[in-house]
Amino acid sequence: MELNWKEERNLTMLTDYYEFTMANGYWLNGLRDKVAVFDMFFRKIPDDGGFAIFAGLEQVIDYLKNLKFTPEDIAYFRKKGGFCQEFLDYLADFKFECDVWAMKEGTVMFPGEPILTVRGPVIQAQLVETMILLTINHQSMICTKANRMVRAAEGRTIMEFGSRRAQSYDAAILGARATYIGGCGATACAMADRDYGIPAVGTMAHSWVQMFDSELEAFQNYARIYPDNCTLLIDTYNVLKSGVPNAIKVFDEIVVPAGFRPKGVRIDSGDIAYLSKKVRKMLDEAGYPDCAIVASNSLDEYIIRDLALQGARVDSFGIGERLITSKSDPVFGGVYKLVAVEKDGAYAPRIKVSESIEKITNPCFKRLYRFYNAETGKAEADYICTRDEELYTKKPISITIFDPVATWKKKTLENVWAVELLRPIFVKGQCVYENPPIREIRAYCAQQVDSLWDEVKRFENPHSYYVDLSEKLWTIKHQLLEEIQK
């Protein structure tokens, strides 16, 4: 039976070393069973955009299901020194027992709100921090970038061509997965197709054309092998003088006589706007108005938008490095912070204070709701409240919210549905969530983006979406700040 690399890899030790020193310290201080609550959230939207997209949950689930320390791991800690034997025995028999809540993959999200919550023994909740952040930060960043490019393309297909530029093989495979969730239509990565069902596409490189004595011969040989899926790369020598004429000759003499229509031509260099208009005219005049024009070559959402403004005749785009690395903003700043500790049967809030306002955390074990207008279906605001503040979700409600910074700014939302965004993923260490198929995640993501007003989706100076605190949560937060100042 073929092994599934996603299940066979043990990533338990892919953890920052200080997580283990803290865990050992918790053990020695009698805090082994102390229940803590941690939130993951992020502070800044990449590319100064209006929203980000949550991705990577499936891989977090795989990781949490397979947590275990091997004898080699225990030997490593013993050699490092500083760890008590009882703690090492605990790791040897480690069993994940936490509760986890998270957004659905593909959900649009905003700074400051909890996107994943872990509650459980503090040692366990602490140890999973690194992999949760690594996984969700990476895929959310790539998914968000992909969606920007998809929106810029305005219905034209975006294909992910970035495997050779990705920052490791995992980044190539899981990056391709994230781009598909964000709306890309295909990938060049065969493994992403095999493991995740993302359509893999590809025809030829310049080396194919160079291998033959002439461009025409290269095209002829390719068309004879793949007459039913013939897309030719036309910029190896000269797009207009040889590439297109040779492509048309091959379409006329090989593809059409075989009973097929040519699929397309690809331009990978030069002035894409100018060349695509000339190529379109030549193909149309030759009787191939259905032959698509594919453009590649260091594209991003701004170039795609400019090409459209210049009247470029491009039907789809292949994008590599600027997508798979999110080159313009390659760090997604998700963090994982302690927000509450169980004490005397209740949850005592914890807060992290900073001179930078955006780094002050929202304390407490919390819920997160999104308000949708019952008439338009558009998202109006997000609402963070304490865990015991449960809103009615069975019918539309009216609710007054306020700006957590400029508190005098209030707004009453009428006739809105309250939808709770964090759903149970693990209960006492047992997974209770079934990962949907990736096409379902992709469709849900498109629906989520469509629920935002156009003003939030602008590339430049997008409207700031409301993320407000309940009055109770706001009061607890400011009481904690006042106590700390004293």
192-225 per-position pLDDT tens digit? 999 999 999 999 999 999 999 999 999 999 999 9
> Please, which pLDDT band fits residue 405 given cuts at 50, 70 and 90?
confident
Based on the domain organization, do 467 and 370 belong to the same domain?
yes
Give how many domains the chain has, as a whole number: 2
Task: Identify the CATH number of the domain in which residue 377 sits.
Answer: 3.20.140.10
Residue 416 has pLDDT above 60, yes or no: yes
CA atoms within 13 A on the CB side of 189: 30
Write out the residue range of the structural domain in which residue 351 sits: 5-142+330-485
- Residue 3 pLDDT level (bands cut at 50, 70, 90): very low
Same domain membership, residue 341 and residue 257: no
DSSP state of 127: H
Instruction: Give the amino acid at 304.
Output: I
3-class state of residue 38 by DSSP: strand
What was the pLDDT predicted at 8? 64
Residue type (1 letter), 413:
L
| Alpha-carbon span 217 to 29, nearest angstrom | 76
* DSSP label at residue 2: -
Q: pLDDT, tens digit, for every residue of 242-286?
A: 999 999 999 999 999 999 999 999 999 999 999 999 999 999 999
Dist CA 188 CA 173 (whole Å): 10
| CA pseudo-torsion sign 209, 259, 294, 326 | negative
Residue 7 has pLDDT above 70, yes or no: no
Has residue 162 been placed in a domain? no
Question: Rounded mean pLDDT of 122-141?
Answer: 98
176 assigned to some structural domain: no
Contact 96, 20 (CB under 8 A): no
Contacts of 327 (CB under 8 A, 6+ apart): 300, 321
The position carrying tokens 């990781």 is 63
Q: Does the pLDDT value for residue 5 go beyond 80?
A: no
Residue 325, domain member (yes or no): no
Give yes or no: residues 97 and 222 share one domain.
Answer: no
- CATH number of 298's domain: 3.20.20.70
Are 310 and 335 part of one and the same domain?
A: no
Q: Counting Cβ atoms within 10 Å, is residue 191 exposed (0-12), middle (13-18) or buried (19+)?
A: middle
pTM recorded for the entire structure: 0.96
CA-to-CA distance for 95 and 226, rounded, in angstroms?
Answer: 53
Distances in Å between the Cα of 338 and the Cα atoms of 246, 268, 342, 351, 434 are: 64, 49, 12, 8, 27
In this structure, are residues 50 and 463 in contact, taking their beta carbons and an 8 Å threshold? Answer: yes
| Pair (49, 114) in one structural domain | yes
Structure tokens at 179: 């781009």
| pLDDT one-digit tens code per residue, 359-377 | 899 999 999 999 999 999 9
Could you please report the per-residue DSSP string of 366-404? EEEEEEEETTT--EEEEEEEETT-PPP-SS-EEEEEE-S
- Please check whether residue 172 lies inside any domain of the structure: no
